[in-house]
Amino acid sequence: MLTPPPEDGGIDSPDNASLTATTTNEQCDWTAALPQTPHIRFFRNTDWSRTRLGPLDSWSPTLRLFASYVLTDSRAACLWWGDISHLTAIYNDKYVPLAANVHPGLMGSLFQEGYPELWPSVSAYFEQAKSTGIGVNYSSAHSTFVDRKGYREEAFFSGGFTPVGMPGAVEGYINHVYEVTTEILTERRIKCLNKLASVPPRSIDNICSHILNTLETNTYDVPMVMLYRMEETAVSNSLRLHGHIGLPEGHPLLVNTATIDSEEGLIPDMRRAGTDQSIIDYDDRFSSLDWKGWGAPSKKIVVMPIMCGGRLFGYLIFGTNPYRPHDKMCEQFIRDLNRMVSSLMTAAVDYESNKKHQVQLEADLAFSDLKLRHLIDHASVGMCHVSLDGYMLWANDYYYELAGQSPTKHSDSLALFFDAYHEDDRAKSEEIWERLLKGDDQVTVDLRLKRLYTPPTGDPEPAQLQVLAFPYRNEHGSVVSVMACTTDISRLCWAKSFQARQAAEAREAKRQQEAFIDVVSHEMRNPLSAIVHCADAITTALEECRAQISDIPKPCLDILNDNMHSANTIMQCAHHQKRIIDDVLTLSKLDSMLLSITPVPVKPMKLVDSIVNIFQAELKTSNIAYSITPDPSFSELGIDHLCFDPSRVTQIFINLLTNAIKFVKPSKEPAISIRYAASRSDPRTLFPSDMFWATDGETPADVTSNPDWGNGEEIYLGFSVTDSGIGLQEKDIDKIFQRFRQANVKTHVNYGGSGLGLFISKELTEKQGGEIGVASVLGEGSTFGFYVKTRRVEPQPKTLKEMFQQVGNTEFASRQLRVLLVEDNLINQRVLGKQLKKAGCDVTVANHGLEALDSLDRQTFDIVLMDLEMPVLDGLEAMRQFRKKELNECRPVRLPIIAVTANVRKEQMDTAMAAGADCVMQKPFKAADLVFMMKSLIPQLAPLSIDPPTPGLGSRSSALVP
């Protein structure tokens, strides 16, 4: 039984008095130390005063301890607290998917209230755990019916109940749960299929009976069966009922014999199905059946044609499991059953055909020895008959050709017989020979020869044979000789190895391509980072001069303004270069099927404003008028926060806005209009009717069905960007969403670009269940629009400020932020250090990881900025060593570390997080964004707004997405 640690010391000691006072203050909100996740907030907001446990501040230390343990457990866990008749639930976020529709009402409810159908069978486990004080495991031997997803479902669970409480007392039980439904159902169905397969060749009638008898052993998955055989006659084809399960005799659906044109029973359904599988829904025709298994009617009835080689043998009609969904797993079972039944019927037909043929052969007498020998001599398979001492009794010419020997030179010893095989395979051939002599009925083995095979390409290599050997026995069962059939598989083996080499070369080429992309991305992002920092410093020079010099001479002011405009141009070029790098990386992820969608609660209005703010300087510099207009649908639908991936939407939006700015600049009156809207259905109505949609004709995937998206209402979120640019010709519109394609050859010359942006935007849109399109008139401008599928969420909590006000910030208000900058690139050291000092930071620089560890031993820092690729000791190893030391020394506060890197693949950033980083900042970046991230990791300096200055930096997950 799990118990809390003992408490030492007396209550009257001075030290204990101080501790008691501190503890009393902390009892006001003992949950503050828990991770502030949405589920923890849900737990805290539950009205516990209405439960048997009472308010949170009244909970005993033991209950607090085990509640904290369960809430922070990485496994699905639920704490049932109280006596057995009044067990109250406290569970973590991993338990929510298992609770299904019982959540959120289960939190604080009794077991009998949450799971009344399970209590009769589960209560015994609680009794046993309480009486023994030892945890009780329960297995998945029997199924359990659960009500989730809106219907009753057969499910299997494994887990255990561990008693917990103070020593000598059982105050509650920790329940760890693991669902194993897929494994148990798969095992049950495979067992049924294996039983179907384990039957020797039989007649068609015997096979039909075997099919019915086997399916009757698994009536849970097949509660009703009808098996019809197709009988072909010269006049017409007729169906004959061979047997059935789950239908009472005389039922109208039982039609013993009828033509395929009949309207009786289910024959019309079979006729409509033809040679294709058909699934029909339950209707009144099946209401009076004697359903087997659970005794409940199936929701789906399968009409399965029994086919092989284009021939229709009959139909197998059966009902599916009434308490399992018709999902991919069910469809796989139907396909496997179809293949197995068709194979058995084919074997039965072949068996009867062979049997008839055998009778015919016996009636007509067997082939004469001459005819048989003629067949052997002209067969495309090598055949031989060898005595036990190795003498060749007979062999056809093809055998000698395959073995590379002469028919005129017969083998008269085992040594000479084995001499045909390659030295490396001779021991294998001798082993096979011994096995045949010891009683093996037959042996199949691949052996290499001394004879060489010349492949279509490459050097000659040893020829290979597939040998099927079997002993010849006398009437007493003793082995007297060995017969063998040999087939030349040299070309097949060469083809397999050739394909394996090609696959290996393809994998290596892909690896080298990814490595090349990583190197190029890394080497381009590093200097871009310094460029961005320098340009950012130049743009702030004018404000700094004005702050220090009240009257700046006009010539100097003009020079400063020119420098600022030049810096803005440098910044725009750097951002353009970064977008190209990001596009190439995104394209690589799309090609490798590695790009993921991560939904989080987002306020669309603020997201649009933050994206437009990125371009505000460029819009102002280029004298481009712009407007942001929310559609009335936003207020009509009451849109506040929606659940979607803001980084991917931002990526699409930036592509469209970048294109609009680029093409609108030459206009006399450049203008851009941005509009966003929402709809519950038919999202295309949010856009102009003449919009061209870049779709492949496939229905967009429903990404919101994933549990990560929650259960809120489905909402389509649409955005459009309208510009007064040059517009598009109608013939060019369908090209622009293709990979590396632009409207025409002049587009790149006049406006630049890689031809990747719109293609990537199309792929990202479709991955989010949406579409992207364009409406354009040549010379008048274009409207690009897209929509994505989202779900409605509750408004974001407004208590973030209160959360951070619990920790005083007087220490940080009185001094600078102490930053350790670990960077081997001297330019980046100088530029980034200067920017951080301007932001009010006390910066210490280390050239590599070893210097950083030394500095951390000698000084105290508030945060560390760690480059990853450095000489002497790289950033990953340095973080690992520091975190290990931090853990060993039991430091009370974890030092925040931001990994600053140009390696931006997700797996690379995951490695950084695993090594000990708290967040990852990708190069290039603005110093302001870095400072925001730094402050967000220090609670005393955390911003009081939940919205970051730049999209993609507001959370740990979004910071990891390029």
- The Cα 130–Cα 757 span in angstroms is 63
* pLDDT digits 0-9 by tens, 674-693: 999 999 989 999 999 889 99
Average confidence (pLDDT) over 928-937: 83
Half-sphere exposure of 6 (CA within 13 A, CB side): 5
Angle, helix 328-364 to helix 181-197, in steps of 10 degrees = 10
Q: Are strands 88-91 and 77-81 parallel, antiparallel or unpaired?
A: antiparallel
Burial of 225 (0-12, 13-18, 19+ CB in 10 A): buried
pLDDT confidence band for 355 (50 / 70 / 90): confident
Q: Is the pLDDT of residue 802 over 70?
A: no
- pLDDT at 759 (0 to 100): 85
Average confidence (pLDDT) over 416-436: 86
- The Cα 639–Cα 792 span in angstroms is 8
Q: Give every CB contact of residue 407 below 8 A, 6+ residues apart in sequence.
A: 395, 397, 400
- pLDDT at 281 (0 to 100): 93
Q: Is the pLDDT of residue 157 over 70?
A: yes
The pair phi, psi for residue 726, each rounded to 5°, is -80, -20
Q: Is the pLDDT of residue 479 over 60?
A: yes
- The Cα 554–Cα 466 span in angstroms is 93
Find the Cα–Cα–Cα–Cα dihedral 31, 32, 34, 37, rounded to 10°.
110
Work out the number of other CB atoms within 10 angstroms of the CB of residue 349.
17
* pLDDT digits 0-9 by tens, 553-585: 777 877 777 777 777 767 767 765 666 666 666
Query: Which helix (H) or strand (E) element contains residue 215?
Result: helix 204-215
Polymer length of the chain: 962
More confident residue, 570 or 745: 570
- pLDDT at 593 (0 to 100): 54
- pLDDT at 746 (0 to 100): 45
- pLDDT at 847 (0 to 100): 92
Give the strands of the sheet with 817-822, arranged side by side. 841-846, 817-822, 863-867, 897-901, 919-922
- pLDDT at 523 (0 to 100): 63
Q: Is the pLDDT of residue 787 over 70?
A: yes
More confident residue, 632 or 369: 632
Query: Which helix (H) or strand (E) element contains residue 748?
Result: helix 745-751
- pLDDT at 63 (0 to 100): 94
- The Cα 794–Cα 185 span in angstroms is 37
At which residue do the structure tokens 């080689």 appear? 309
Q: Where are the beta strands (DSSP E) in 233-271?
A: 237-245, 257-259
Q: Which domains are delineated in the chain?
A: 14-179 (3.30.450.20), 192-352 (3.30.450.40), 370-488 (3.30.450.20), 604-793 (3.30.565.10), 800-959 (3.40.50.2300)
More confident residue, 146 or 40: 40
More confident residue, 15 or 609: 609
pLDDT confidence band for 803 (50 / 70 / 90): very low
Q: 793: which strand partners?
A: 641
* pLDDT digits 0-9 by tens, 835-864: 888 888 999 999 999 999 999 999 999 999
Average confidence (pLDDT) over 607-614: 87
- pLDDT at 368 (0 to 100): 55
Find the Cα–Cα–Cα–Cα dihedral 204, 210, 211, 217, rounded to 10°.
170
Find the Cα–Cα–Cα–Cα dihedral 691, 694, 698, 702, rounded to 10°.
-80
Q: Is the pLDDT of residue 920 over 80?
A: yes
- pLDDT at 567 (0 to 100): 75
Query: Among 469-473, 736-740, 811-815, where is mean pLDDT lowest?
Result: 811-815
Query: Among 14-28, 42-56, 558-572, where is mean pLDDT lowest?
Result: 14-28
Give exposure, 453-483, as e/b (b: 16+ Cβ within 10 Å). Answer: beeeeeeeebbbbbbebbbeeeeeeebebbb
Task: Give the pair of three-digit tokens for residue 801.
Answer: 């400020």
Q: Is the pLDDT of residue 98 over 60?
A: yes
> Which amino acid would we find at residue 71?
L
Query: Among 106-110, 344-348, 632-636, 735-739, where is mean pLDDT lowest?
Result: 735-739
- pLDDT at 581 (0 to 100): 67
- The proportion of the chain whose per-residue pLDDT surpasses 70, expressed as a percent, equals 83
Average confidence (pLDDT) over 311-340: 92
- pLDDT at 263 (0 to 100): 92
- pLDDT at 745 (0 to 100): 43
Q: Is the pLDDT of residue 161 over 60?
A: yes
Q: Is the pLDDT of residue 537 over 80?
A: no
Q: Is the pLDDT of residue 504 over 50?
A: yes
- pLDDT at 701 (0 to 100): 64
Q: Where are the beta strands (DSSP E) in 625-733?
A: 625-630, 641-644, 671-679, 692-693, 714-723
Instruction: Quote the DSSP letter at residue 727.
Output: -
- pLDDT at 216 (0 to 100): 92
Residue from 676, 603, 606 nearest 642 by CA? 603
- pLDDT at 608 (0 to 100): 92
More confident residue, 618 or 215: 215
Per the CB < 8 A criterion, the answer to whether 240 and 205 are in contact is no
Give exposure, 733-772, as e/b (b: 16+ Cβ within 10 Å). Answer: beebbeeebbbeeebeeebebbbbbbbbbbbbbbbbbbbb
At which residue do the structure tokens 């310094």 appear? 530
Per the CB < 8 A criterion, the answer to whether 565 and 542 are in contact is no
Asked if omega into 924 is within 30° of 0 (cis), the reply is yes
pLDDT confidence band for 396 (50 / 70 / 90): confident
* pLDDT digits 0-9 by tens, 244-303: 999 999 899 999 999 988 999 999 999 999 889 999 999 999 988 999 999 999 999 999
Per the CB < 8 A criterion, the answer to whether 291 and 319 are in contact is yes
- pLDDT at 958 (0 to 100): 33
* pLDDT digits 0-9 by tens, 66-93: 999 999 999 999 999 999 999 999 999 9
Per the CB < 8 A criterion, the answer to whether 200 and 207 are in contact is no
- The proportion of the chain whose per-residue pLDDT surpasses 90, expressed as a percent, equals 35
pLDDT confidence band for 338 (50 / 70 / 90): very high
More confident residue, 35 or 757: 35
Q: Is the pLDDT of residue 519 over 80?
A: no
Half-sphere exposure of 75 (CA within 13 A, CB side): 12
- pLDDT at 526 (0 to 100): 63
* pLDDT digits 0-9 by tens, 859-884: 999 999 999 888 899 999 999 999 99
Q: Is 584 left (phi over 0), alpha (psi -120 to 50) or beta?
A: alpha
More confident residue, 352 or 594: 352
- pLDDT at 953 (0 to 100): 36
Angle, helix 181-197 to helix 204-215, in steps of 10 degrees = 160
Find the Cα–Cα–Cα–Cα dihedral 794, 795, 799, 801, rounded to 10°.
140
Question: Mean pLDDT in the chain?
Answer: 82
